[in-house]
A and B are shown apart, each in its own frame.
Chain A
Amino acid sequence: MKFRADVQVILKEGVLDPQGQTIGRALSDLGFDSIIGVSTGKLFKLEIIAESEAQAREIASRAASKLLANPVIERFDIEVAR
């Protein structure tokens, strides 16, 4: 079966995000006063052949730990769908 997994990689809390801060300042200059925080990250859309949703999640999780995210500075979330 084919599954789709969205792996979202984002900086850990406490790690400086100069890109997010700069984008936040730009939004504020554009008048978005209600936006008080911006964090940047990456989204990977994986297509996975697996026998079950659980297996697809496990494969995505291994891929994220090994390559897609750097555990020193980043954490990740995974969403799996058919």
Chain B
Amino acid sequence: MKVGIVIFPGSNCDYDAYQALKLIEGNDVVYLWHKSDDLEGCDIVILPGGFSYGDYLRSGSIARFSPIMKKIIDFARGGGFVIGICNGFQILLESGLLPGAMMKNSSLRFACREVILRVEKNDIPILSGLKKGDLLRMPVAHGEGNYYADPATISELESRSRVVFRYVDNNGVVTADANPNGSINGIAGIINEQGNVMGMMPHPERACENILGSVDGLKLFESLCAAAR
């Protein structure tokens, strides 16, 4: 099983993602350069976090036109697994692979803290290793993670169960305090209709080893890799 981690100028979670995916036995993990137009036969492509192109214009707006993105869009439309984390999620939104847009956090502050995510869905292959209602702990680190879409899109996402993770408190309840950025309905991650393209603001790759305080991110990656195997 081959996993590709895309490096854009300004990516800064690429090595963390590489390291995390390497922890899973049987994974061959490679870097994919943004100027390349070859996915090198990867089964999963990860768009990591960071500040691609300095976050100039809008987060992800320039990365979206990188040569590699053309191939990734084709790969995704053909059913390939594409996961965008943080800035990677923003790139997926800008590229139109997922609906909506990111606004500045409602606090206007960069949010860097641990959050709790409630798993909203496990009836698709990439989340089948998780349980619906599971609470996962992992960090967020973003200034623009305030998910926004027009009311029609939000109601479609909700009615089609395409919200995969929500920010919740210790009791698993969506509250304003548990939400680090003001996103609608506490949305932390969504998936496309086909279930192969997922975007999330929190960082599972930073929660894969005990020394980091949580290994909940690894559960997510294990589930993802099992689906692609």
* A19 engages B104 (CB within 8 Å): yes
Dominant secondary structure of chain B at its interface with chain A: loop
B141 interface residue, CB < 8 Å from A? no
In A17-68, which residues have CB < 8 Å from any B CB?
18-19, 22, 67-68
Residue B103 interfacial (CB < 8 Å): yes
| Residue from the list A18, A19, A70 in contact with B61, Cβ < 8 A | A70
Q: How far is the CA of A19 from the CA of B103 in the complex (A)?
A: 10
Chain A residues with CB below 8 A from B100, complex form: 72
Inter-chain CA distance A72–B148, complex, in Å, is: 9
- Chain B: how many interface residues by the 8 Å CB criterion? 21
Q: Is the CB of A15 within 8 A of B106?
A: no
Residues of A near B149 (CB, < 8 A) are 72
Write the chain B residue with the least CB distance to A14: B150
Q: Once the chains are docked, how many angstroms separate the CA of A15 from the CA of B106?
A: 12
Is A16 touching B106 in the complex (CB atoms < 8 A)?
Answer: yes
- Per a CB cutoff under 8 Å, which of B62, B99, B103 touches A16? B103
Kindly list chain A residues whose C-beta atoms are within 8 Å of the C-beta of B62.
Answer: 67
A-B Cβ contacts below 8 A, count: 36
Q: Is the CB of B61 within 8 A of A15?
A: no
Contact B103 A73 (CB under 8 A): yes
- Complex contact A73–B148 (CB within 8 A): yes
- Apart from the given pairs A18-B103, A70-B94, 7 other A-B contacts in the complex at a CB distance below 8 Å: A15-B103, A18-B107, A18-B182, A67-B61, A68-B57, A72-B99, A72-B100
Distance of A42 Cα from B107 Cα, bound (Å): 21
Nearest chain B CB to A50 CB, angstrom units: 23
Complex CA distance for A68 and B58, rounded to whole angstroms: 9
Residues of B27-71 at the interface with A, using a CB-CB cut-off of 8 Å, are 57-58, 61-62, 65
B108–A72 CB distance below 8 A: no
> In the complex, A73 Cα to B65 Cα: how many Å?
19
A70 touches B108 (CB 8 A): no
Is B127 an interface residue, CB under 8 A from the partner? no
Complex: how many Å from CA A70 to CA B149? 12
Is there an interface contact between A15 and B148, defined as CB atoms closer than 8 Å?
yes
The complex places the Cα of A70 from the Cα of B146 at a distance, in Å, of: 15
Report Cα–Cα, A15/B101, bound state, in Å: 11
| 18 residue pairs from A and B, CB less than 8 Å apart | A15-B148, A16-B146, A16-B148, A16-B182, A18-B103, A18-B105, A18-B108, A18-B182, A22-B108, A67-B57, A67-B62, A68-B57, A70-B58, A70-B101, A72-B99, A72-B149, A73-B101, A73-B103
